[in-house]
């Protein structure tokens, strides 16, 4: 999976800012052959992101640029793209990348960027989703893989993983269970993409030639 990149296997670039448990799920699936793709580069906007260690341990090239050193969002994004393009990525996977992307970046890779958001979109875009779910007294929660467009957490949804909220559960406990779901659904959606089954066309997500008006939903309880 790492070290020497194949000329034929699809290439994934993964962008992180933190712990990288989702990145780890990709590393594991690519390592086991379940995800037939090479992770060509892991990029972080934070030098202390633990995910960089995970990538290095797996022999994946890493790159880091700090956004604070750039005049504005687009200048930063252009520098990031330069790093990513060196590895000719087919797919960009945002895995806890805590930066809003500029329209320039989104258009540069239109239809080739996936994100995972820890909520059942369109519910709860933005931050603190677990606490907001608890505050609202919702009985279901989960996470959603979607294509990235200019609208924050608003691009076409692909795959959602759903769990039941337990009585007296804390936001931290909920987060842990949601993340376990993410580690299942995110590599799966990426696999669909690299296998050519999942596409972004006319502003919508398409799976196996069918337009997804709603995401595929998997229940994990
Ligand atoms: C995930 O929960 C994901 O939904 C959100 O950021 C978190 C990243 O976690 N976008 P990790 O760095 O993959 O552990």
What is the per-residue pLDDT across 155-178, written as a single tens digit (0 to 9) for each?
Answer: 999 999 999 999 999 999 999 999
pLDDT of residue 58: 98
Q: Structural domains in the chain?
A: 1-109 (3.40.50.170), 116-221 (3.40.50.170)
Q: How far is the CA of 8 from the centre of ligand 1 (A)?
A: 29
The rounded distance, in Å, linking the Cα atoms of 3 and 19 is: 22
pTM: 0.96
Q: What residues are in contact with ligand 1 under a 6 Å CB criterion?
A: 16, 18-23, 95-96, 116-118, 143, 179, 182
* Ligand 1 atom closest to Cα of residue 19: 12
> Does the pLDDT of residue 67 top 70, yes or no?
yes
Can you give the pLDDT at residue 3?
52
Q: E strands, 165-208, where?
A: 198-201, 204-207
CA of 17 to the centre of ligand 1 (A): 9
53-69 average pLDDT score:
97
Distance from the CA of 120 to the center of ligand 1, in angstroms? 14
**What residues pair up with 11 in beta bridges, in sequence order?**
38
**pLDDT band at 1, cuts 50/70/90?**
very low
With the C-alpha atoms ordered 52, 28, 220, 159, is the resulting torsion angle positive or negative?
positive
Biggest CA pair distance of the chain: 51
By DSSP bridging, strand 62-64 and strand 140-147 are: unpaired
Measured between alpha carbons, how far is 79 from 186 in angstroms, rounded to an integer? Answer: 26
């Amino acid at each position: 999976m790492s070290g020497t990149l194949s000329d034929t296997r699809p290439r994934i670039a993964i962008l992180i800012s933190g712990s990288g448990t989702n990145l780890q799920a990709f590393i594991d699936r690519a390592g086991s052959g379940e995800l037939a793709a090479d992770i060509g580069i892991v990029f972080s906007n934070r030098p202390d992101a633990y995910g960089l260690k995970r990538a290095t341990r797996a022999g994946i090239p890493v790159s880091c640029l700090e956004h604070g050193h750039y005049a504005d969002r687009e200048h930063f994004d252009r520098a990031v793209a330069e790093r990513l393009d060196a590895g000719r990525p087919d797919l960009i996977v945002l895995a806890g990348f805590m930066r809003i992307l500029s329209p320039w970046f989104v258009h540069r890779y239109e239809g080739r960027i996936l994100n995972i958001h820890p909520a059942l979109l369109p519910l709860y875009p933005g931050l603190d989703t677990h606490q907001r779910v608890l505050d609202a007294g919702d009985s279901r929660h989960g996470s959603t893989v979607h294509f990235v467009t200019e609208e924050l957490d608003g691009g076409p949804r692909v795959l959602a993983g759903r769990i039941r909220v337990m009585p007296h559960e804390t936001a931290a406990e909920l987060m842990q269970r949601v993340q376990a779901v993410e580690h299942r659904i995110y590599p799966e959606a990426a696999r669909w993409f690299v296998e050519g089954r999942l596409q972004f066309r006319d502003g919508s997500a398409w799976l196996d030639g069918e337009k997804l008006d709603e995401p595929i939903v998997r229940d994990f309880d």
